[in-house]
Copies of this chain bind each other. A is one copy, B any other.
């Protein structure tokens, strides 16, 4: 079976997922150019060439890592929205979930540092998702302003600040569970305090 595995089996998907996580870890720690497919393969007990069984190439690998990152962000935002509450409540819940995702079992989430070097279709795809996610979060903030739970502010810029703080997490978090606890406690608390009316 080719790597264009469409009728993907369970085992195949699992390994692919492990591949994406290993790649995300490498990319976050060593940078894109500093990561060779061999580095990624070694983490899986494989040879570099074996990676091509799961993915078309390095480009595709980054792309998939970023897709995964975008999906996780969107998923936790959706969940926070689904749980309901005021704009403030939703935003706080979103931060709790997203920080937990970064620091928890969800494994390392790739920092989107190489978007411009993606293939055009991929780049567009990621940028669209990324923008959508930002806009959705801004909508939550705006709703909070409307319902009086969030201070009146520039939602675009405030969103940029909050997203930046969260997106930067992989830069300093390297798996220490003690640090993870601190982050999960402090981040939502601090970031939301600035939103109180």
Contacts and interface: CB of A to CB of B under 8 A. Distances in A.
Interface of A: 29-34, 111-117, 151, 153-154, 156-158, 160-169, 171-172, 182-183, 185-187, 189-196
B31 A116 contact: yes
A111 B115 CA distance: 14
A114 B111 CA distance: 12
Q: What 8 A-B pairs are tightest by C-beta distance, nearest first?
A: A164-B168, A34-B117, A194-B194, A33-B33, A157-B186, A31-B114, A193-B194, A164-B165
A112 B170 CA distance: 12
Contacts of A30: 116-117
A192 B163 CA distance: 16
Copies of this chain: 2
20 contacts: A32-B32, A32-B33, A33-B33, A34-B114, A153-B190, A154-B182, A157-B182, A157-B186, A160-B168, A160-B172, A161-B165, A161-B187, A163-B168, A164-B164, A165-B165, A190-B195, A193-B193, A193-B194, A193-B195, A194-B194
B116 A157 contact: no
Is the contact region of chain A dominated by helix, strand, or loop, or is it mixed?
helix
A146 B49 CA distance: 57
A33 B117 contact: yes
Contacts of A33: 31-33, 114, 117
Contacts of A31: 32-33, 113-117
Nearest to A192: B194
